[in-house]
Structures are given as C-alpha cells and as structure tokens.
Structure 1
Amino acid sequence: MRIHRAVRIWAVAVTGALVLAGCSGAGETPSGGSGNQPADSAPGVTDDTVVLGSHQPLTGPAAPGYSKISVAAQAMYRYINDNGGVNGRKIEYKVEDDAYNPTKTVEVVKKLVLEEQVFALVGGLGTPTHSKVLDYLNQEGVPDLLVSSGALMWDQPQKYPMTFGYQVDYLREGKIMGKYVKDSFAGKKVGLFFQGDDVGRDTQAGLDQFIKDQVVTRQPYDPANTDVTPQLLALKSSGAEVVVCACIPSFMALTLLTAAKIGFKPQFVSSSIGADPATLTALLQDFAKRSGATVSPDQLLAGFVGAGYLPRAALTDDPWVKFFKEIHDKYIPTEAFTDTLIFGMAQAYSVGQILKAAGRDLTRRKVVETLETTQLKGPGLVPFAYSKESHSGYTGAYLVRNNGNGTSSVVQQPMVTDRESGEVKPAGGDRVNPDQTGLLDK
C-alpha cells in the first residue's frame, strides 16, 4: 500500500484549513460570564412557530461526517412538523456554517441571536468553537441546549445556567474505556494518543483511574499539525500493545494510515468522537483517492474498538434505528445512513422532547427549568444526568469491535459512571420506544 505518499499529500491539502481551526485549544475556557438567570422572555416564539439555531462545521476540517449532523436534524424537525409540531408550533431550524473556526463561531452565533432572534441555540458543535460563545449566550440569557462536545465546562450550572451538555463527557468515557482495557488487556503496555486540550486532559483523567500503571507513553497532537508520524513512532518505540485514542475523525483516520505506513499494529481503542466506522471509511477512501494510493479501509479498521452511547446504524432491529431509518428514507434518502446521521436525528428528537415538556406557555426560563426537572427518555442506551445540580448529558457508553467485514461485535455492554471516582457499572434501566415518549401526542 502506498500509504506514506497518501498521508503526505493529504497533510499538505488540509494543513491550511486545520491551522484556521486550531488557533485555540479545544478546551480553552473563556473568562467571565455573568451567570444571571434569564428574564421570562421568549424571542423567536410565535403562536405557531419556534425558531432554533445552531453553528455547525458545514465546511472546513471537521466537515467530513459532521456536516451531515444538521442535515439529519433538519429531517427530524421536518418529521415533527409534518406530524403537527410541538404544542401546536412548528420548529424553524436555522443553521450557520462556522467552518470549525472559533472566530467564525462568534460571528455566526451573534447573527443567530441578534438578527435571527432565535429562541435557543441547539447542538452547537465543537469545544474550541463553542467555548468562545459560552459566556455570550449565558450573558444574553439564551438557552444553550445539548452542546455537541464532551467537555466538562458545559456542566457548570452556577456559572453557566443556560448551558447543557449532550454527549457523554470525556472523563466518564475515559473511565469506561479504562475499565475495558484493564479487564481485557491486563498487563499489556498502553500508549495514549490524544488531542492536546480538554479532550485529551479529561480523557486521561478517566483512563488513569484504571490503567495509569500500564501507560508507557502519552502522545498529544496539535490539530494545526497533520504530521503525526513522530507521535506514532514514539508509540511504536515504547512497545505499546494497546493505543487508546481521543481524536477527532480526521486525526483518527490519519493515525490508522500512519500506523500502517510504519508497520505498527497495536490494538486501537477510540473514544466516541472518532469512532464512527462509516465516517472513518469515507475519510480513508478520500485520503487515498487524493493521492492515488490504494488502501483497504476494512483492513485498517479490522479489530478497531470504538465507544458509543446511541444505537448504531447497524442495529437494524432496534426500534429507534427503525424509526430513524423511516425518517431517513422519506426525507433524506440519498444520504448514507450512518451513526453520525443517527446522532443528528437523536439530538433533534431530544430537543423536541424538551420543548414538549416545557409546555405551550414557552419561555427561555421555563425551558431551562424543564430540562433540570424532567427525565428525558429515548434514543440513548444510557441515561442522561440532567438535574438542577448537573447539566451533563449522557452518563455512559458501550464499546464495539469492528470485525473488518462490515460487521461489528459489542465487547462491553452499556456502562455508566460519574465524573468523580465512582464505580463503572452496568447501565440497567428500561429504554422506551419512540411511540412511548409522548412527543407527538396531541
């Protein structure tokens, strides 16, 4: 396989875009923030409409795969609207492209708030991007719902009362991956490869509760530098037999390519942010196509273990996957039906549940209070953590091995844990079906 040439040419092609996106760390927390509760106001709400907004990477280095999240969300909102809306209101969903550039994020979010007069921001994607508007949204009293990032900063109810996370946070996920590695690869040398910001720091904090004594090297990457060869060579020379990654999809794909180039064949374990096999397959194919190289994504992904907390597209018998597939087939049939598409639909469905529970008398304050006091049930295989004391999202994850032939196998059932030193335990509990949530009940 002419992988070396593929990596080199792809790195030149995307370095410029990544430099723009990597100007600030993904975990950089803005200072300030008033923490004031919002007035009982409802911009963006009419008798028959509620306007929601989001910033998404429709272009730029995070666009592969992630650009489809808003496409999937829009399909879900269309489905809800076609079935009567929520409490008599149709959802109007406005998406702005920030190209995964924090400076652009500030610009487009202010446009959504000041010009578009959105009622709430939903599913804003990315830690380096969303961290730049965290103070602003809370100062303006705009509900900041279901942030698409696992950073711990979203879970600060006293400082950021308007902000709620969505995906499992990196610390919890790190603990769950750490327990899996300890149980499955006892005594094996472990290398860590991670984004050099909150993504990596929080993930390591969780991993270290279980496998600190097994770790032989820790290698960070800078999103502005696409050459990860030095880190992969260091991982190889350390004798690491298992490599745990906390990488965005582009860097997870680049890691797999570079490992193959240098003849490094560890067991890879990935956090959920870089674990969607369909997204990785597309990236590997794209990198190869750009350089004229020949690679086999199935071979590169064989044995790859990734985390998740939503049902996978491959689970065709799952009632939620069936539901999402029906919506996909009706509204966006030309899109590939992937785990990333499921993320967008599931997140939008949860937004609908929040609006439903808030009732017809809709205000910004009421939405926040509703999310703090309502137990959302639905697509996820683990529960949410929402309460007055916690604005964290999903509380756990499962782990799946890619078999390299288009199939996968669960290697660790859904587990839950806390952000401290509590145990990692089976998720348990009942999981409702789509027709049991009451979202579209009249």
Structure 2
Amino acid sequence: MSQHSLARRVAAMAGASAVLVALAGCSTPAATGDPAQAAPGVSDDTVTIGAHTPLTGPAAAGYSSISAAATAYFDYLNDQGGVHGRSIEYLVKDDGYNPATTQTVVRELVQEDEVFAIVNGLGTPTHTAVLDYLNQNEVPDLFVASGSTSWNQPEKYPLTFGFNADYVVEGAALAQYAADEYPGKKVCLLGQDDDFGDEMIEGAQLALGEDGLTAVERYSVSNQDVAAQIGALKAAGCEINILGTINGFTALALGTAAQLGWFPMWFSSSSGADYPTLIGYLGEDVGPKLLQGFVGTNYLPALGGDSEWVALFQQINDEYNDGAPFDGNTIYGMSVAYLFAEALEAAGENPTRTSLIEAVQSGELAGNGILPLSFSEDSHAAYLGVGISVVDQGVQDYVGATYAVEGGEVTAVEQAPVALSGEGVPGS
C-alpha cells in the first residue's frame, strides 16, 4: 500500500484529542442534566440529524433508495420508543451528486436546521466538498457513504468516520480473488476519474503488483459514453475487468461490451454491484444473462442469504417504506441507520457531540456486518475487509472467499457475522 494510504490509517492522537476537548467545551450545558441544552439538534423528545444524497442526477437511480430505507428504519425505531426516549428525525437533502450543491445543502442542515450530526452523506466528490466545513464547525460527520480513504484521517478530520469498506480494500480483495481463482487471466480495471478509481487501482496493484493490471481505463460521470474505454479494454485482451464504478456505469460498461459482442468476467466494487439495481438499468430481458457470474464485494448481510437482519429489514421495508423494492441498497440504508442508533444509545441519556464521537471510536459498537467494525481512536474506517459475492441464477450471495487488508497485506479471513439482537433496537 502507498505511503499516503498507510498514513491515513495511523492517527495523530493529539489532533483528535484537541477537537474533542473543543467539542466538550461547546457542549458543557449537558452537565446541567437538561437534554434540551445538550447539543444542537437534541431536544427533550427528538434528535435531528441530516444527510446529503442524490435524489436526482446521474447517481439517483442507484442510490436514492438508501436514504428512504434509513428513514424507514428510523420510523420503525421511533415506534419502538426511539433511543433513550427520543425519536430520530432524519432530514435528507438532494444534492444531485453535484459538489457545489452539496456545499449549499449541508450548510442549510448545519446553520438553519441545526442538526446534531451529518449521517451517511453520499459520494466521494460530493462529500469531499464539505469535509473541511463539517470538521471546522465541529459537526459529527458519521458513516460517509463512500469508500474513499479520505474519511479515515483522524489526525486531520477527527469528526469524520467512513462506513463503506474503503476502495483500496475492495480493489485488493477483487484482484486477490481473481489471482486465487483464475490464475493467469489478464486482469484490467475501469475506474471513475477521482479518488474512487485511484484507490481501486491502488488496491488491485497491492494484490497483483505494480505491473499486475494489463490495462486501466477511466471514465467521468459527466459523460454517459464509455464506448472508447470498453473498446480499449477489449483490444487489450482483458479477461477479467475490475470495476470502480457506480451502479449506472457498471450497467453501462456491461451493456456497451455486450453491444460489441464481448463478454469478459466482471468484478465490481460494492458501490456498483447491487443486482436488483443493475437489473433495473439493464432490463429483465438481458440483465440476468449479462449478470450471470457477476462478482462483487460486500461487508453487510447479503440480499441472497438467510440472515435474520435481512428478514427484519424486509419486514421494516414492507411496513414503513411504502412498498419500495427491497434490494442491497435497502439493506445498506437500514444498516447505517441501525449503526447510528447504536452509537446514539451508547452516547448516553443526555447525548452531546462529544459523547457521540467517543461512542463511535470506543471500539464497542457492533454494527451488523460480516466482519468486526474497525472504529477506534486511531482508525475511522468501518470495515477493513470484504466478502466476495457471485450472482448465480439471479441470486447474489457470498461464496465464502473473504479478504482483509491491513498493513499493506491482503489476507484471507473467516467471516464473523454479527447476530441480530433486540429485534434490531439498540439497548433493548
């Protein structure tokens, strides 16, 4: 792994401690025991949090359902009594996957809506645009919906924590799986032209070596045409293509290749690997054929598995989400919401921004993933490993291969799924 990524995994404790001290100073009214004075966004009976997400624009079809699923989980939780007697109000604002709009809506959430925290802001280029702002204004920035390693810089951004397994981890896991299961195949990569693509490449090279990728192509979300990139990969003789793509561009890549009569193997980051979403793009006629054998990464309960978490989330979706389709994005959104509820419960009866951050980095949160959470004072990454999923006859499930990436090494590990408890209500 490159030095800059390794540096991001090693925190400067003094920076984090200084900001926590500053936060504590801002939150001293909590000592009175009056929850209404505990922190912005906290009243006697509610906790208000916010998020930016693409409800419109190029990423909406793949990701707009995440915030709806999170809202449905919070509605379910509120009907069970909420957390420490408070209901959670989740304010979701559309940024269209446009960084300039992200800046506007996040400022509205912080300055006008006075949210307690930003939770699961979505996108690498979009959230990067508000990273400094949130930390400078001492707003907890939790569980970012992106795998950029930028979120794991506790010395620079002590209030920011990721949720996704980072892209270095995903790129390394996919490349290692390719090397383990298909030795000798030509492995290539198509990646977004930002940190997403950069770090997928870095991860793949971690597993395969600096010269291990036969060809690399990049795309921009502003250009809905990848014919040149797919043509170049085909010409290079690529047999396995690793994708650092959002769902829409995953589908675009597969569809474009099919039009060229080219059918290589496709290995995708979790950000672009949700089977039902891809079927929505590709259509029921050709989608199942193009996606047979499609390889992805995941770190949450799998849609095609028999997890009790999936059964609970299906029930919540049916009752609280207006009959919306149930897919991997639904599981993702409810998993994030559950983790925030768990952190809020651990933050105490009169939560402050300080106690919330301390709860997240305590190392005691469990989440609901297939591997333990990695949060601590010196790591703001959620998952340092992923499982490999494969689509078979329309079912997307784990195949057993699971990889962790730490200290520059890619290692095969065993899954350790977190069991459902308390009907998905923290503290019950």
Q: Cα offset for 1:107?
A: 0.4
RMSD: 1.8
Displacement of 1:260 in angstroms is 0.4
Choose the corresponding residue for 1:426, options 413, 416, 422. 413
Gaps of 5+ in 1: 1-32, 286-293
Equivalent residue for 2:321? 332
Structure 1 residue 414, shift from structure 2 partner = 3.2
Does residue 1:210 correspond to 2:215, yes or no? no
Matched-pair contact (CA < 8 Å) for 1:187–1:214: no
Normalised TM-score (structure 1): 0.86
CA drift of 1:202 comes to 0.8
Is 1:83–1:440's contact at 8 Å kept on the other side of the alignment? no
Counterpart of 1:377 in structure 2 is 366
Q: Identify which of 91, 103, 108 aligns with 1:106.
A: 103
Shift of residue 214 of structure 1? 3.9
**Range that drifts further, 431-440 or 207-216:** 431-440
Q: Does 1:390 align with 2:357?
A: no
Q: What is the aligned partner in structure 2 of residue 73 from structure 1?
A: 70
Q: Distance in 2 between matches of 1:409 and 1:391?
A: 28
What SS is found at the alignment partner of 2:217?
strand
CA–CA distance in structure 2, aligned partners of residues 238 and 65 of structure 1: 29
The equivalent residue for 1:278 is 276
Q: Kindly provide the CA deviation profile for residues 167-204 of structure 1, in whole angstroms up to 9, marking residues without a partner as x.
A: 10001111111210110111111111111211111111
Any idea what the Cα deviations from partners look like across 1:367-394, whole Å, max 9, x if unmatched? 1111111322132111211000000112
**What is the rounded CA distance, in whole Å, between the counterparts of 2:402 and 2:76 in structure 1?**
29
Moved more, 265-274 or 212-221: 212-221
* 1:424 partner amino acid: T
1:430 shift after superposition: 5.8
The one of 297, 307, 311 aligned to 1:322: 311
CA distance in 2, matches of 1:374, 1:112: 28
Higher mean alpha-carbon deviation, 124-133 vs 304-313, is at 304-313
Aligned to 1:245: 243
Shift of 1:40: 3.7
Distance 1:261 1:169 in 2: 32
| C-alpha distance in structure 2 between counterparts of 1:180 and 1:296, whole Å | 26
Instruction: Identify if the C-alpha distance between structure 1 residues 357 and 162 changes in structure 2 by more than 3 Å, giving closer, same or farther.
Output: same
Q: Distance in 2 between matches of 1:202 and 1:261?
A: 29
Contact 1:209 1:421 in 2 (8 A): yes
> How many aligned positions are there?
398
Query: Aligned residue for 2:174?
Result: 177
Partner secondary structure for residue 377 of structure 2: coil
Q: CA deviation at 1:98?
A: 0.6
- The 8 Å contact of residues 378 and 434 in structure 1, kept in 2 or not, is answered as no
* Equivalent of residue 118 in structure 2, options 99, 121, 125: 121
Gaps in structure 2 of 5+ consecutive residues: 1-14, 28-38
The aligned counterpart of 1:155 is: 152
Q: Look up the equivalent residue of 2:290 and give its one-letter code.
A: L
With 370-379 and 88-97 compared, the bigger mean Cα shift is at 370-379
For residue 440 of structure 1, report the CA deviation from its aligned partner: 4.3
Name the structure 2 match of 1:254: 252
- Tell me which residue corresponds to 1:407: 395
- Kept in 2: contact 1:382–1:415 (CA 8 A): no
Cα contact 2:342–2:367 (8 A) shared by 1: no
Q: Aligned pair 1:145/2:142, yes or no?
A: yes
- Change in 2 beyond 3 A, CA 1:272/1:424: same
Q: 1:125, 1:149 within 8 Å by CA — same for their partners in 2?
A: yes
1:141 counterpart SS class = coil
8 Å Cα contact 1:245-1:268 kept in structure 2: yes
Q: Distance in 2 between matches of 1:138 and 1:241?
A: 44
Q: Relative to 1, partners in 2 of residues 1:59 and 1:70: Cα closer, same or farther, differing over 3 Å?
A: same
Contact 2:292 2:394 in 1 (8 A): no
Separation of aligned partners in 1, 2:185 and 2:168: 22
Structure 1 residues 344 and 255: CA distance shift in structure 2, 3 A: same
Distance (whole Å) between structure 1 residues aligned to residue 273 and residue 416 of structure 2 = 25
Measure how far apart 1:408 and its partner are: 3.7
| TM-score of the aligned structures, taking structure 2 as reference length | 0.89
Partner residue, 2:56: 59
The alpha-carbon distance between structure 1 residues 429 and 298, as it changes in their structure 2 partners (threshold 3 A), is closer
